């Protein structure tokens, strides 16, 4: 696997040890991605599969194998353990999403849990979107979610220490469009946010058309008050 020099700054393996605790409250996205998978007529691929939090329910609901891509060996090991416990099949692959390559084009590629925000630059995201486009069947779908940056929220949370869901501190670098989540126990996960127009530009240059932009996982319309982007795009 070829590692991009910037990716190591966005994820520390120490974070993986607490990931299940960190993600324990993340459940509302699962039915959304399961529904998309049920509609897909062909291979299913999850980028940044992590511990299998979403991929395992998708595999259970569809009765199909999900190809799970992740660059973290520690997260993939957790996914293998959870997959065995759930008695489902995931095709887990250690790889960088910017280097995505599939043996067979997919019907659906999705990236939950704001994981595209681990990519630090526009060029990283463009490369990923172009790789996704080349890895989809004609009219295949690409879906993901990301937070919509709010200056008021950032000002309130910057430097804040919180014990939930695990003890951590948030630091915002607004000039760099970055937020660092640092665990007391060690490990930092960094996220680089993007605007709606930046996401739409990425779709355009990679050959996608926007199918839907929701403000949440209940498929509510995205408005100026929405704080979550939930995108569904289709290959042109």
Residue extents of the structural domains in the chain: 7-148+195-235
pTM: 0.94
Q: How many residues does the chain have?
A: 236
Give residue 11's pLDDT band: very low, low, confident or very high (50, 70, 90). Answer: low
The stretch 98-116 carries a mean pLDDT of 97
Backbone angles phi, psi at 30, to 5 degrees: -60, -50
Position 9 confidence tier, pLDDT thresholds 50, 70, 90: very low
Residues 133-137 have a mean pLDDT of 98
CATH number, span 7-148+195-235: 3.40.50.150
**139-159: average pLDDT:** 97
Regarding predicted confidence, which is higher, 200 or 21? Answer: 200
C-beta of residue 61 within 8 angstroms of C-beta of residue 37: yes
pLDDT at 100 over 70: yes
Q: Flag whether pLDDT at 12 surpasses 70.
A: no
Q: How far apart are alpha carbons 226 and 220 in whole angstroms?
A: 9
Average pLDDT of the chain to the nearest whole number: 93
Distance CA 46, CA 201 (A): 22
């Amino acid at each position: 696997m070829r590692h991009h020099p910037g990716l190591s700054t966005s994820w520390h393996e120490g974070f993986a040890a607490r990931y299940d605790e960190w993600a324990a409250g993340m459940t509302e996205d699962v039915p959304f991605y399961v529904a998309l998978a049920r509609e897909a007529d062909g291979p299913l691929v999850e980028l940044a599969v992590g511990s299998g939090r979403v991929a395992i329910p998708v595999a259970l609901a569809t009765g199909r194998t999900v190809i799970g891509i992740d660059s973290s060996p520690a997260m993939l090991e957790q996914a293998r353990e959870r997959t065995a416990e759930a008695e489902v099949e995931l095709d887990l692959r250690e790889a960088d999403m910017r280097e995505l390559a599939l043996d067979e084009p997919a019907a659906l590629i999705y990236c939950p849990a704001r994981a595209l925000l681990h990519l630090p630059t526009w060029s990283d995201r463009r490369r990923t979107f172009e790789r996704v486009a080349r890895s989809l069947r004609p009219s295949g779908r690409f879906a993901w979610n990301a937070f919509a940056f709010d200056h008021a929220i950032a000002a309130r949370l910057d430097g804040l220490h919180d014990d939930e869901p695990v003890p951590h501190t948030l630091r915002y670098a607004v000039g760099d469009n970055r937020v660092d989540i640092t665990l007391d126990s060690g490990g930092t996960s960094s996220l680089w946010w993007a605007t709606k127009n930046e996401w739409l530009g990425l779709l355009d240059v990679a050959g996608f058309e926007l199918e839907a932009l929701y403000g949440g996982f209940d498929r509510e319309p995205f408005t100026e008050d929405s704080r979550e982007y939930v995108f569904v795009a289709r290959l042109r």
